[in-house]
Amino acid sequence: MSSRSPRFLLILLALTASCSTLPPEPPPPAAITNVNEEGWRAIREQQRGRVLLVNFWATWCDPCREEFPALVRLHKTYRSRGLSLVAISMDEPESVPAIEKFLQEQGAQFGSYRQNCRDFGAFVDTVNPRWGGGIPATLLFDRNGKLVESWQGATKFEEFERTVKPLLP
């Protein structure tokens, strides 16, 4: 064995330890899943340790549809570096087929949910009391689950990237 072996092992151990601090992206639900206040809290907890971008949108919302390709591109570009993306549709229950079709057309490969709460105001307050409920709305949480940025209205890829990238390992 060479004299470099212990040093090599220390470097390898350090690299392995740094890589293991990034939890894997949780698998997305197999189908559009309803989410209420409790479900929202569960999503946030499930994503802890990863940077989380959450987009609230609807199929009938033109600005939402315009911004969606930027979200898909952002997720594909940075998911391996620790970005998770969750889309929460504000559509009605009968719109699930339209939601599924849109997500498939966009190539979305992230968790997709549909807001299903009894009290919309309470849901909004649980997500972010400063939000107000308008869409599209996107919230960015750091690896500790702290809200670090939010956007209201259609946002471009470059704006998302400029804010997300520094949070990634």
pLDDT in tens, 129-140: 889 899 999 999
Distance from C-alpha of 98 to C-alpha of 132, rounded to nearest angstrom: 25
Q: Which domain holds residue 52?
A: 24-167
Give me the number of domains the chain comprises: 1
Q: Please check whether residue 112 lies inside any domain of the structure.
A: yes
Distance from C-alpha of 35 to C-alpha of 15, rounded to nearest angstrom: 37
The per-residue pLDDT for range 57-105, each reduced to its tens digit, is 999 999 999 999 999 999 999 999 999 999 999 999 999 999 999 999 9
Flag whether pLDDT at 17 surpasses 50. no
pLDDT at position 14: 47
Q: Please check whether residue 111 lies inside any domain of the structure.
A: yes
Tokens coding 111 = 């968790």
Q: Please check whether residue 2 lies inside any domain of the structure.
A: no
Per DSSP, the chain holds a count of helices (H) and strands (E) of 6, 6
pTM of the model: 0.84
CA torsion sign for 87, 91, 95, 98 is: negative
Distance from C-alpha of 54 to C-alpha of 35, rounded to nearest angstrom: 13
